[in-house]
Amino acid sequence: MTVCIDTNVLVQARANSHPFGVILDGFLFGMMNWAVSNRTLTEYEEIISSNAGPAAWGMVARFIELVGMSGNLVMVSPHYQFHIIGDDPDDNAFTDCAIAAHADFVITEDRHFAALADAGYKPQPITPQEFIDRYRGIHVP
């Protein structure tokens, strides 16, 4: 299974003992793949650096490298912008990445991703808790 993670979920999941941390563990344990693009990585860097500082971003970047070394990172370069989300165009980086990677889900708590549900593409939005509840023991520890 391949998923794309919205920044809001990544920010929460990286916190010590946060319940969403099991999603990140799933990548390290080889239980699923994480789809990223240059645009999603840039968004992660901007938000994490501005909210928690460059050192926090450095730790996340190293974690992403580790996931890549374990073979569970899917790096894509979307050649088309689908413009699915009109209310927050920055969110389109994640929908474009998910579509290009043939991902199953975009894990997010952002209501703007509801537009993806009916857009006719494979990736579907799912909240982190719904994802954990549905896939615990299969794709998340």
Closest C-alpha among 122, 104, 135 to residue 5: 104
Residue 74, domain CATH? 3.40.50.1010
Q: Please state the domain count of the chain.
A: 1
Provide block-wise average pLDDT over 10 residues at a time, the chain (141 residues).
97 92 94 97 97 96 95 96 90 97 97 93 97 91 83
Residue 49 sits at φ, ψ, to 5 deg, of -65, -40
pLDDT confidence of residue 33: 97
Closest C-alpha among 30, 55, 33 to residue 45: 55
CB 20 within 8 A of CB 132: yes
- Does residue 27 fall inside a structural domain? yes
- Does residue 61 fall inside a structural domain? yes
pLDDT confidence of residue 89: 87
pLDDT confidence of residue 137: 86
pLDDT confidence of residue 140: 85
3-state SS, one letter per residue, for the chain: CEEEECHHHHHHHCCCCCCCHHHHHHHHCCCCEEEEEHHHHHHHHHHHHHHHCHHHHHHHHHHHHHHHHCCCEEEECCCCCCCCCCCCHHHHHHHHHHHHCCCCEEECCCHHHHHHHCCCCCCEEECHHHHHHHHECCCEC
- Does residue 141 fall inside a structural domain? no
- Does residue 21 fall inside a structural domain? yes
- Does residue 140 fall inside a structural domain? no
pTM, rounded to two decimals: 0.94
Domain that holds residue 23: 2-135
